[in-house]
Structure 1
Amino acid sequence: MGRVVHFEIHADNLERASKFYTELLDWKFTKWDGPMEYWLITTGADSNVGINGGLMKRMGASPVLGQCVNSYVCTAGVDNLDETLAKGQSLGAAVALPKMPVPGIGWLAYVHDTEGNILGLMQRDPNAK
């Protein structure tokens, strides 16, 4: 099986993007000591389920707000979706898909991060309807 083992966020402004994800989701960013500007992203402890990723300079045009999804969407688990949405908006995120139930699973919303990328946010709740 080809399980996802890494993700990348492409950004126009790496400092702004790292600040957004650090403040919203408590992710850790470490500049890579390699031949290109690349930051490693730690999303949680290795003992927790999930993957880590990278942050790099966008090589093309920025996404346009309101366009259809044209890439994979990564979804982060959060404890309280309402609070995370409000915090995200205060940090510059725009709601792309308002909070909606995923019956028997939880609550889901999409936001555009400060770079225009879509980020999924999921609060587990087996009673969601």
Structure 2
Amino acid sequence: MGAPVVHFEIGAANGDRSRRFYADLFGWTVTPFPGGEDYGVVDTGSGTGIGGGIMQAPEGMQPWVTVYVGVDDLEKSLSRAEELGARRVMGPAPVGDMGEIAMFADPDGNILGLFAATREATPAEQ
């Protein structure tokens, strides 16, 4: 079975501005993530594709856009990525009770995320 892209994320220089921009541009609904005021969960309203999030980039970090790939085992996937020339960037780290995330930089420096679910996300969380 393949590893699907399950989530996108936009790390913005100005989180509030970017949440308004994408909501206005595409008609997305962006709601605060419970307990994470700086993270807005995106519902595209399309019924297809994936949901995502728009967040304030931490101070000192450049803005980014990344995708998260669903995997069964974060450590196994991170180790394999490293064997293939990637560099671990963060994680694994918990995401509430939904699962864990990790990130790596591919050999060209592109940042990709990994997500291992411990439960099915509700539509508002996707």
Q: TM-score range by the shorter chain?
A: 0.3 to 0.5
Higher strand share: 2
**TM-score when normalising by structure 1:** 0.45
